[in-house]
Every structure is written in C-alpha cells, then in structure tokens.
Amino acid sequence: MSDQDSGPKRETFTSFFGLLMTMIGVAVGLGAIWRFPYMVGKFGGAAFVLFYMAIVFFVGIPALMAEWTLGRHTRRGTLGSYERGGFPGGKYVGTFLFFIVFWATGYYSNAVGWVGFHALGEFLNAFGVNLNAAAILPPQRGFNLTSFLLQLMMTGFVIFTCGIVLIKGLRKGIEKASKWIVPTLFIILIILIIRSVTLPGASAGVKWYIGGFRFSELTPSVMAAALGMAFFSMSLGGTFMVIYGSYLNKKANLPRNAILTGIGASTAGILAGFVIFPAVFSFGLEPDSGPGLIFSTLPKTFVLMPVGWLFGLLFFLGLFGAAFLSAVAAFEVLVGGAVDNSRIERKKVVFFICGTVYVLAIPPMINFKIFLPWDLIFGSGMQALGSLLAVITAAWYIKRSESLKELSEGRAKPFPLFLYWWIRIVVPAAILFVGINWLLEFVFNIKIF
C-alpha cells in the first residue's frame, strides 16, 4: 500500500496495529522508562505525575498531531518538510535539525548500549558470574579505558542491529520489530509490577508515588519539569514524528492515533514508576537519586530480591527494547532524509549513516562531563526548538484549509476549529516556555524559579 497523493512513492504502514506499535515504540524510548521515574523522584512524586499527565493530553498530544500533519502533508522527513511546508528558510531549518539528529543519535546509542550491558550483567548473574555492569558507565571526569572499550563494543552492537532493521525498510524492518517489542515491553512491566508491589514495605513507595497529592507541591519548577518531560517522553522534536508522519496513509486518523500514542507512552512511564518506587522503598533506598536511579539504585534492589537476576534481566531487556526502537527512529530520520534527497539506494545510505554515527558517538564515551552537556544541548534544548518549529510550520505556514484537511482525514466529523486554534496558540506558547527555561537554566545558569 503506497500513498502517492502528496509527493513521491513511499512505503506506508501495513495496519493500524503496526502503526500504533511503531508510534508508541518511538515515543516510549529511554525517556518514559529511564528519565520519567528519576524526574518523579527528583520533583517529589504525585504532584509531578498528575501535572505531567495533564501536559501530555493538553500540550503533548496536540503537538504530536501537528508534527504528523507536517510529515504527512509534505511526504518528507526533517530534510524537506519545512521547505515544502513554507517555513521561511525551511531548507536551512531542516538541514540544521537533520545534523542535530546526527549528533544526538551518537550519544543516545551509547546510552542504549549501557542498558544492553546491564541486561547482560543480570543474565550472567544467573550462572554465578558477577559482572560489574556499572563498569560501562563513563567516569564523571577523566578517562577510563575499560569503560571506553566496553562502550565501543556495546555501541557498535546497537548501531549494527539498528542497521539490520533499517535496511529492511518500514514494513519489514521498523514496523515488524515494533509489533514484537512493544507488546513484550508492556507484558514485562506488568510482571515486574506484580513482583514489586508484593515486596514487604512496598506500599510506602506506592503511596509516595501516587498518593498524598497537595496543591502546595505543584510549584513552578515542578510544572516546568513536567512540561519538558512530556516533550521528551513523546519524542517530540520536529524530527522523529515528522518522518514517521510522512509514512502515514490518508486513511490514518491523526487525532485518534495521537491520543492512543500519548496514552501508550505515558502509561509506560507510569508503569515503570510502579516497578521502581515500591522496590526502592521496600529496601530502604533513595527515590531521588537522579539519573543513577536506573543504573545504580535499582540494580541494588534486584540483588536483594529472591531470584532478583530474573527480574533484573526482564527489566533491562524491556528497557533495551524501548530504547532500541527510539534509536531506530533516530536513524530513520537520517536514512529517510538522505534517501528522499538523493539517488543513492537505501542499503548504501544505511552503511554510511551507521558508520558516521559510530564516529560521532566516541567523544561522549569519554566521561559524563562531555556526555551530559551533549544530552542537554542535543536532547533537551534542541528537542524543544525542533518541536516549536514543526508546530509553527504546520499551524501557521501550511494553509489552514490544508492543515484542517489533514487533521480531519479518517474522521467522521471535521476536526474542531477550536482545537486547531489551540494547536496554533497554546501549544507553541508552552513549548516556547520550556525552551526559554532550558536556555536560561542550562546555558546561562539562571533559574527562573
């Protein structure tokens, strides 16, 4: 099934289930399962969770509709969509975001490799082999040869397996992998929740996580963090979802699919919290241990659990699957962009892109002093900017009638006009707030709140 209504012949999804699993897969990633729980820990629990859910529905889902509108209307990914959408200097904007994805994919592939190595460590524990999985993590500063070599190995493995999926294309590669990985991820999370909430003292973790909400806890800093987390956890950035939107056929109902994707991505994060916090409280560990919550704190709980290696293995395998699908999406932005704008066959493009990303992945392997700024610049900051540009292009530069037509396709009724204006006004304002907050706090070290 190829859609030729707007632009060149290109693959589209084979089924609604495949489409939904692919979109949820790219949205979940490391953001929902790794970043969401530690952000909950850092910002105090229930207040953050509830405001985050509100932001997903009122800002994240409309922004996703806009990014898909841009992709499907132009039949292009990051390279080409802004130009075809009529954004001033769109060719250069798309090129800028394209190269940002190049840099971001490198350090992200490293993080996926960390997860894979932790899964290997839990597996070897079953045979009495005590592998120090934390050895793969970069040092805070300086250089560690063991960490560097382990990262070279695991990042190479991640990029190689992504390449295999990418060569097969959308249907036989990306969609097929998503159909298996996403349902498996949710099954794993449910199994782990049952184990976690039945631990002695786990109720304290559940209560801290979702109980005892007080409006006094909903501070401006919590709101700002929840806004940023919503964009991160849904992979909004004017890149991933734009290229995947270009593969949607004209029968796809954008609002319905966006709602289901938002529910799927946020549910994965919520479920991960039910896995982590009851276990952390049960064993008297700290829920606010930051980014190390998954890689340092949580493995300690598996050590203390009966048959903990099994639950540790399931957790890190599930996390690896989610992270892997987001990595594939990042590579697809690059591969799809190159294929759309050249006469080079897809297989050769995949080889070139994978090799280039592997080289770019090397600097952030050295230490966290390099890695963390890359994450803040190429992940958090540029993600807000890319999403803002995508929403503005879809809502302000594509003709209103054409945007409304895209948003109304596959629906029994036309897309509500007030929601279109919500996407036009409120969503860009919210994204701009996140971007300014990031710029002031992480670039100029100025905290608004």
- In whole angstroms, what is the distance from residue 109 CA to residue 155 CA? 6
pTM, entire model: 0.91
The pLDDT assigned to 142 comes to 94
Q: Where are the domains of the chain?
A: 16-443
In three-state secondary structure terms, 59 is: helix
End-to-end distance of the chain based on CA atoms, in angstroms? 51
Reported as half-sphere exposure (CB side, CA atoms, 13 A), residue 26 has a value of: 25
CATH for the 16-443 domain, from 1.10.101, 1.10.490, 1.10.1200, 1.20.1740: 1.20.1740
State the amino acid at position 156 in one-letter form: G
Q: Give me the pLDDT at residue 8, please.
A: 45
Q: Which residue has the tokens 């560690």?
A: 144
Hey, what are 30's tokens?
């490391």
The β-bridge partners of 80 are 77
Q: What is the C-alpha to C-alpha distance for residues 391 and 234, in angstroms, rounded to an integer?
A: 14
Residue whose C-alpha is closest to residue 326's, from 10, 114, 30: 30
Q: What is the pLDDT of residue 229?
A: 82
Q: What is the pLDDT of residue 130?
A: 86
- Nearest 5°: phi and psi at 296? -120, -55
Closest listed residue to residue 104, CA positions, set 374, 351, 373: 374
Residues 283, 302: Cα–Cα separation, whole Å: 10
pLDDT along the chain (449 residues), means of 10: 48 92 88 77 79 92 97 94 96 94 92 94 89 91 96 98 96 95 94 92 87 70 79 87 94 95 91 88 75 74 86 92 94 94 93 97 93 74 87 97 95 95 95 80 71
What does the alpha-carbon distance between residue 11 and residue 34 come to, in Å, rounded to a whole number? Answer: 32
If one counts every other C-beta atom within 10 angstroms of the C-beta of residue 127, the result is 7
pLDDT of amino acid 153 = 98
